[in-house]
Structure 1
Amino acid sequence: MKKLPLLLFLLLLTTLSYAQSTKAKPGTFEVGNKEFMLNGKPFVIRAAELHYPRIPKEYWDHRIKLSKAMGMNTVCIYLFWNLHEQQEGQYNFKGQNDVAAFVKLVQDNGMYCIVRPGPYACAEWDMGGLPWWLLKKQDVQVRTSKDEYYLDRSRKYLKEVGKQLAPLQIQNGGNIIMVQVENEYATFGSEQEYMEEIRDAVRNAGFDKVELFRCDWSSNFNKYKLDGVATTLNFGAGSNIDNQFRKFQEIYPNLPLMCSEYWTGWFDHWGRPHETRSVSSFIGSLKDMQDRRISFSLYMAHGGTSFGQWGGANAPPYSAMATSYDYNAPIGEQGNTTEKFFAVRDLLKNYLQPGETLGEIPAAKPIIAIPAFQLEESAPLFDNLPKPKQSRDIQPMEMFDQGWGRILYRSTIPASSERRKLIITDLHDWATVFVDGKPIGKLDRRRGDNTVELPTTAADARLDILVEATGRVNYGNAIIDRKGITEKVEISDGTNTTEIKNWQVYNFPVDYAFQKKVKFKKGSANGPGWYRGTFNVNETGDTFLDVSTWGKGMVWVNGYNLGRFWKIGPQQTLFMPGVWLKKGKNEIIVLDVDVPREAKVAGLTKPILDELRPDESLLHRAKGQQLNLANETPVAAGAFPAGNGWKEVNFDQVQHGRYFCLEALNAQEEKDPFTSVAELELLDINGNPLHTLRWKVVYADSEEVTAGNNAADKVFDNQESTFWQTQRTGQKPAHPHQVVIDLGETFRIKGFRYLPRSDKSTAGMIKEYKVYVKEEPFKL
């Protein structure tokens, strides 16, 4: 037998030692009779949801320790497919993407891990974690067994995840006790065959020992079955726990109960009020779960930041997510402890299991201030165009092999002495239109904008349309969300409409290597462009970059992409991790596709997450506008039974209509002046819900958009924990209350379903109602 060289022997010894330090003896975790069983003993999961991509790697251990100090025994994680496979077939699990290292850190801290690999995740992440390059296939379908390409790529991705994490299953001596199959699928579909395909793909990826589970909502978990997979429910702060699990227990009387996502707060949308959830409502329902020995995962325990291009969007209506994913969680965006953190810690110390102790609270990360400084160099966008690509027809950015960022479409429009309109179908997501270099209008997908008035031109003119992608839809049926201009651009003079052809296309990706190549010079860009500056720090520390004087765009510091900013708020700062700063000189580049009010930045010690500067009224009612129903005949009238859960009403005869009005005459509780609605569904002649992608609220007599994000369009946002509520601050208007929805086209409508709010409050639950359906608009 040959002797091993000394260096090789020492290397093997070191490797073995490390493996032993991060790996325990093989164990078991199973679904028992009304309880989870860990190594043969009853176990209540107290999990903290953390997303490693939203936390700088250097801070992973700190956030895990904070979670343990809060009373958690488990960490729950999503994996985002599009993070690990940004180009088809090229996988990256290194550095910031090293999920195995994160899971091992969780084990080193004496905690277990729940893994949620997808392929779909949601999480307010771009396209819900699905990779953008799927969209290069024109007829792609996702989250279905009907598209073999999607299924094949999903299986390949899950295999790669298995290579990283399957060795860390508890049965192998690791700490992974559960692995999720897909995510909240019943909010998207009910195709059992698809869920079986993904279940089998997860097992074939190497997760053949660990307990598999799936999560859905109490209102829809029974839309499909999935043998061999445990079922858990998701719901939010302030929920009535007994109501949430009542139907589940009727169907699964012997299964353990778990809230796999207990929503501690909520996420912020650009242009909408900052979201919060009270400590009292949050902690009350958490105590109810602990009293009943119900397992849970706090979503989020710590939200962190959607750095770079990763923030997603909801639809309908289209609404992009802010960069901060603070989530009003117990652990703040910077890793700071909050009132909610100490409330959880104080509660859970009373529910520790034998042998458990609260972890020590780790030292806070230092925070520094940076005096305001000017960015004195700029690079106008139109002076720094990359090499163009030619295209006869306009196409979205994916067809030019671009995943994220900005795209410029250039063509020529013929001379005309008459006023004309430019019509864009469809814009995704925000654009400025230029004629011969002069801006003539801005378009915003959130508002449904698609038309700009063109000036008269004595000669043929250059048309430029600069489009910024503000996040792919991460939820629901609008998830096939290509960016740029997705169909066509036309000119209309009111009589004739002509499609514009022959485009030059310029791509502006988000990677730092592209930004640093532009040519800077002293002075202002006087329009869309990059700005560059430097600042010095004597000591590094976390800070919050004040970008409140800027318009709309993205920031890079020392090559790190901090994410998007937008002057409309509510977020006016960007989190700058101290570990990405250097002592001495630091570089900052800002790309502003709008126009900054002042090219300056400062580093603050606290974030600004609640300063809203809306560019339009958030109300769905013009000043003095009044709905007139005097000559209208309701198609249905009656009273809803009290209590939670969906209420269904079928009309006496099928109605043809495009406009739907729900009028609440009073509330279940006498003298309650409010109306609140979590969700509305209209039913086709077969009793199936109508698609909502083109729905738009055209009138609401009252809505709360100041003290909370309770606008009327919450009635069709497919989020049961958010709701329309009439104004609850200042003057509280009395009943009746009405909401009018334009369905976007005429439908045959059999009836409707109404879902009251799902928290413990009964404020605004409708009792008596009238419903109107018309083909023509209501009189306003």
Structure 2
Amino acid sequence: MKLFPSLAFGVALFASGVSPVLAQATPKHTFEIGEKDLLLDGKRMQIRCGELHFARVPKEYWRHRLQLCKAMGLNTVCAYLFWNVHEFEKGKYNWEGQADAAEFCKLAQEEGMWVILRPGPYACAEWDGGGLPWWLLKKPDIALRSQDPDFMAASQAWLKEVGRVLGPMQVTKGGPILMAQVENEYGFYGKDTEYMGKMRQAMIDGGFDIPLFACNPTGNLANGRRDDLFNVVNFGSDPATGFKKLREIQPKGPLMCGEFYPGWFDTWGAPHHLGKTDQYLKDLEYMLNEGASFSIYMAHGGTSFGMWAGADRPFKPDTSSYDYDAPISEAGWIGEKFERTRHLMAKYLLPGETLVDPPVPMPTMAVPSFTLKETAAVFQNLPAAIKDSAPKNMEAYDQGHGCTVYRITLPAGPAASLQIGQVHDFGWVFLDGKEVGVTDRRSRRFKVSLPERKQPQQLDILVEAMGHVNFGVEIHDRKGIQGKVELVAGGKSTEVTGEWSVFPLKLDEAMLSSLKWKSGGESAPGPKFWRGTFKLAKAADTFLDLRTWGKGVVWVNGHCLARHWNIGPTQTAYLPGAWLKEGENEVVVLDLLGPEKPVLAGLEKPILDQLRPELDFARKGSKKGELVLKGQKPGFEAAFPAGAEVQDVKFAKPLEGSQFALEMLNAHDGKPFAAIAELDLLDPEGKSISHASWTVAYADSEEMTGEDGSASNAINGQTADFWHTEWKDAQPGYPHYLVIDLGGATKIGGFRYTPRAGNNPGRIKDYRVYVGGGFVKESR
């Protein structure tokens, strides 16, 4: 008996001419969602899936990584499609080379693996913009992931194109694709069931006749839920609670975890993440024993090559390494986590399944140190200028990645502050070619002091875009200068007006080929491109050692390899041997800060865990100055119930202020620790307030040695990570404090508190809330 008959569509759907090509195909298999089990050709199937993003793995290594997944005991791989990879320019689709999704599915089938397809339109995945194309943001008022007509039209066209390319790969056509996902974790973002219905229909119209499903985190399963979509739940631990919540919204049907996290991703300036292997295996065995299906996110993380790494919210840019502490490492290595997972999977194989041996590891090598001797100064290699009366965001200038230089002549005048509305993401300010300051979106520092100008001077603002935010409403993340540019002197503010020259530096192949190189390191001061070569007798995988470099992007043999930033935790860039060659190999490095030494080498092992906060050019920590709450009256006080449930708190009447302070008085277990997986503020109508303008103004304690317990984890939208007070080197007691600066006066109707998952310390009991301003006195 089929529990979801509307999900197992028949081939007759295509008789109306929706897809003549598919209509002629003969179904080879059936895949259905039964009352208790997933059914492949009528027989029980427990999906043991692993997430593997083909865009994060060199195409030459796809088969190798699939073989590793098979050897680990998986029978299925999850394939995300990142829309912006396949349609970087509107209307121009790319399914070739590294973007050849059909070839990836074909290889999976050849290796005896099934495929779960996740085509979006939104993906998240710590990918630039969550996979949404940058050009959607050219429309100033577009509402992404909504029924906005422009977003819907573009999404429907995309899903139709996906159906054209991958429709023939469905299980009903003899291919490996068993199921397809509609949207992704929409319940965290919104509640519009009609929107989800239209996305479902777009999949059907695109030719999909396999079961369609929706996934959501444990606390968001009911939002946007539809009966005509199979629902699965995402979690990083505590599967019993996750499945209990799933049963509340879907009483019957097989249980499935859509994303199960063995580790976590890294962001620049924060500690490298390592998963807790024993707990991961315990939770995995629980699901295997319960007969539940699952997808390990990630089985193999790989690398966000080029400029594809996204940014966590409010703004925490992700590293290019997406190692994820997955069972299969970034470079395809296996170790204890892989072997223990494989041993566990062997106990739960289905009839007819066998474990295969892992393939031979890819060879690695060291590359001796070499010097990059040619340079091309950025300011001597600007493209043709775009003239404008005021600076606009990058997308308005038809730019999706890279840097932009904004230039204008300032008149003579006294010392002043240059105040910019916002700069996304980092801005270096120059007067007549001399650097005078830096803006930093992480701390919302958009002001730079300018010296007295005795004559007119050229103002240059070089803006670097890091990944578009990939989660939450903050995906409406336009890059470059936002708002007015003003001079503030003597208490008077004057907008900088006149003719601006705007130079888009797209950092693409066309720009790199146009660079004018100079030998011997002789060129103008300021940021530069550097070029050098190294020779190989034989190519193999290596890791470029970037510890002497500052911040920027690196290319090897024309492949845009990675972003680099000396603050860590990543200090190397994975360089696949498949992208190298015998003989001479070329390296180009853009360094916006300037290297300590312009040298590179190839290491045999990566450096993923070396933080160097002393090199951070502009960052302010979470704990800033002195907390000033004495004499303040709390706007609300109460106690959280015990347990891991998401808890919504509604105030008797809305509170208004520019800062939200949470004073935590004790914990349910009586221990000194406090932890918050997520803190969300709600407007008077109960809707989530955007985090785009938020910063952590103060945290009394953060664990940054034993794990990443940084306070920013409490407001990044990710419930699998968390803020945690110190526990390794010190254990300060209650009360604990967290203060969020909201970026402006905000009406708050309540808040949502998500405790740390599982039976872990840090569950807050009694608390007080303060809403107002001036709660933190900055130290001078």
Q: Which of 138, 141, 144 is residue 143 of structure 2 equivalent to? A: 141
Superposed displacement of residue 347, structure 1: 0.8
The answer to whether residue 361 in structure 2 is matched with residue 353 in structure 1 is no
Residue 446 of structure 1, aligned match among 405, 430, 442 = 442
CA distance in 2, matches of 1:157, 1:617: 39
Percentage identity across paired residues of the two chains: 47
Deviation, structure 1 residue 775: 4.3
Q: Which secondary structure does the structure 2 equivalent of 1:489 belong to? A: strand
1:433-479 Cα distance to aligned partner (Å, 9 max, x none): 11011110111111211011111111111011111111111111111
Q: For 1:416-565, list aligned pairs within 5 A.
A: 416=413, 418-493=414-489, 494-524=491-521, 525=523, 526-565=525-564
Any residues of structure 2 matched to 1:52-131 within 5 Å, and which?
52-131=54-133
Give the structure 1 partner of residue 293 of structure 2: 295
Q: Distance in 1 between matches of 2:450 and 2:533?
A: 40
Q: Which residue of 2 aligns with 1:6?
A: none
Following superposition, the deviation at residue 125 of structure 1 comes to 0.7
Q: 1:747 to 1:722 in 2, by over 3 A?
A: same
Do structure 1's residue 258 and structure 2's residue 259 form an aligned pair?
A: no
1:29 correspondence with 2:31: yes
Match of 1:249 in 2: 247
Using the alignment, how far apart are the partners of 1:287 and 1:174 within structure 2? 30
Cα distance change on mapping 1:88 and 1:626 into 2, 3 Å: closer
Tell me which of 749, 767, 770 is aligned to 1:769: 767
Instruction: Find the residue that maps to 2:631 and give its secondary structure.
Output: coil
SS in 1 for 2:492: coil
Aligned partners of 1:81, 1:660: CA distance in 2, in Å? 37
Greater shift in the superposed pair: 710-719 or 50-59: 710-719
Equivalent-residue separation in structure 2 for 1:96 and 1:650 (angstroms): 49
Q: Structure 1 residues 445, 454: closer, same or farther in 2, change over 3 A?
A: same
Q: Which residue of 2 aligns with 1:340?
A: 337
Q: What's 1:154 paired with? A: 155
In the aligned structure 1, how far is the partner of 2:158 from the partner of 2:260? 28
Matched, 1:383 2:380: yes
In structure 1, what is the Cα distance between the partners aligned to 2:700 and 2:750?
23
CA distance in 1, matches of 2:776, 2:126: 35
Q: In the alignment, residue 284 of structure 1 is paired with which amino acid? A: K
Q: Is the 8 A contact 1:273 1:709 kept in 2?
A: yes
Distance 2:497 2:336 in 1: 57
1:720 and 2:745 correspond: no
Which residue is 1:192 aligned to? 193
Cα shift readout 1:181-240 (whole Å, capped 9, x = no counterpart): 011001111111211111111111110x2110010111111112323211011111xx11
| Amino acid aligned to 1:675 | A
Larger deviation, residues 305-314 vs 479-488: 479-488
1:217-228 superposed matches below 5 A: 217-228=217-228
Offset of 1:653 from its aligned partner? 4.3
What's the TM-score, normalizing by structure 1?
0.93
- Going from structure 1 to structure 2, the CA distance change for 1:590 and 1:769 (only over 3 Å counts) comes to same
Q: Per-residue CA shift, 1:385-421, capped at 9, x if unaligned? A: 22212112211222222221111111100101x2111
* Residue of structure 2 equivalent to 1:235: 235
2:681–2:689 contact (8 Å) kept in structure 1? yes
Q: Which amino acid aligns with 2:440?
A: D
**Unaligned stretches of 5+ in structure 2?**
1-24
Q: Name the aligned partner's letter for residue 662 of structure 1.
A: L
Give the residue type in structure 2 aligned to 1:765. R
* Shift, 1:673, TM fit: 1.2
Q: Secondary structure at the match of 1:706?
A: coil
Question: What are the superposed Cα offsets for residues 558-577 of structure 1, whole Å, 9 maximum, x if unpaired?
Answer: 11110211111111111100
The separation in 1 between residues aligned to 2:258 and 2:273, in whole angstroms, is 21
- d(CA) in 2 for partners of 1:481, 1:384: 27
Query: For the Cα contact (< 8 Å) 2:183–2:214, is it kept in 1?
Result: yes
User: Which range is displaced more, 436-445 or 487-496?
Assistant: 487-496
Q: Following the alignment from structure 1 to structure 2, what is the Cα–Cα distance between the partners of residues 127 and 430?
A: 17
Letter in 1 for 2:447: T
Query: What does residue 605 of structure 2 align with?
Result: 606
Tell me, in whole angstroms, the C-alpha distance in 2 between the residues paired with 1:712 and 1:278.
Answer: 20
Secondary structure of residue in 1 paired with 2:28: coil
Distance in 1, matches of 2:776 and 2:454, equals 43
**Letter in structure 1 aligned against 2:68:** L
In the alignment, the residues of structure 1 paired with residue 275 and residue 239 of structure 2 have an alpha-carbon distance, to the nearest angstrom, of: 17
Q: CA RMSD in A?
A: 1.7
Q: Is the 8 A contact 1:112 1:176 kept in 2?
A: yes
Distance 2:559 2:294 in 1: 34
Query: What is the match of residue 210 of structure 2?
Result: 210
1:535-567 per-position Cα deviation (integer Å, ceiling 9, x unaligned): 011111000000111111111111111021111
Give the match for residue 17 of structure 1.
Answer: none
Deviation at 1:517, TM superposition (A): 2.2
Aligned partner of residue 600 in structure 2, secondary structure: strand
In structure 2, what is the Cα distance between the partners aligned to 1:164 and 1:766?
A: 50
The code of the aligned residue for 2:732 comes to P
- Bigger drift between 64-73 and 628-637 goes to 628-637
Q: Does the C-alpha gap of structure 1 residues 139 and 654 become closer, same or farther in structure 2, counting only changes over 3 Å?
A: closer
Rounded to whole Å, the distance in 2 between the matches of 1:632 and 1:478 is 32
The separation in 2 between residues aligned to 1:652 and 1:227, in whole angstroms, is 35
Deviation at 1:755, TM superposition (A): 1.5
Name the structure 2 match of 1:659.
659
- Number of aligned pairs? 749
Structure 2 Cα separation of the partners of residues 512 and 652 of structure 1: 58
Q: How far is 1:608 from its partner?
A: 0.7
Q: Is the 8 A contact 1:491 1:500 kept in 2?
A: no
| CA drift at 1:776 | 4.3
Alignment-mate amino acid for residue 693 of structure 2? R
Task: Report the more deviating stretch, 440-449 or 242-251.
Answer: 242-251
In structure 1, the partner of 2:48 is 46
Question: CA separation of 1:626/1:451 partners in 2, compared to 1, >3 Å: closer, same or farther?
Answer: closer
Specify whether residues 400 and 633 from structure 1 end up closer, same or farther in structure 2 by C-alpha distance, changes over 3 A only: closer
Q: Which residue of 1 aligns with 2:183?
A: 182
Q: Give the conservation status (yes or no) of the 8 Å contact 2:696–2:741.
A: yes
Aligned to 2:3: none
SS at 2:222's partner residue? helix
The residue that corresponds to 2:19 in the other structure is none
Q: C-alpha separation between the residues in 2 aligned to 1:495 and 1:618? A: 27
Find the counterpart in structure 1 of residue 632 from structure 2: 632
Q: 1:65 to 1:134 in 2, by over 3 A?
A: same
Aligned CA distance change for structure 1 residues 749 and 377 (closer, same or farther; 3 Å): closer
Aligned amino acid, residue 420 of structure 2: I
1:573-584 to structure 2, matched below 5 A, reads 573-584=572-583
Looking at structure 1, the residues matched to 628 and 484 of structure 2 have their Cα atoms a distance apart, in angstroms, of 38
1:696-735 to 2 correspondences below 5 Å: 696-735=695-734
User: How much has 1:284 moved relative to structure 2?
Assistant: 1.1
Question: What whole-Å deviation, never above 9, does each CA across 1:140-164 have from its counterpart, x for those lacking one?
Answer: 221111x212111111111111111
The DSSP-based 3-state class of the residue aligned with 1:222 is coil
CA spacing shift, 1:195–1:113, aligned 2, 3 Å: same
* 1:617 Cα deviation from its structure 2 partner: 6.5
Q: Which moved more, 1:643-652 or 1:727-736?
A: 643-652
The answer to whether the 8 A contact 1:619-1:703 is kept is: no
Counting only pairs closer than 5 Å after superposition, residues 727-766 of structure 1 correspond to structure 2 as 727-758=726-757, 760-766=758-764
Return the alpha-carbon distance in structure 1 between the equivalents of residues 226 and 53 of structure 2.
27
Given that 1:429 and 1:445 are in contact with CA atoms closer than 8 Å, whether structure 2 keeps it comes out as yes
Give the letter aligned to residue 390 of structure 2. Answer: D
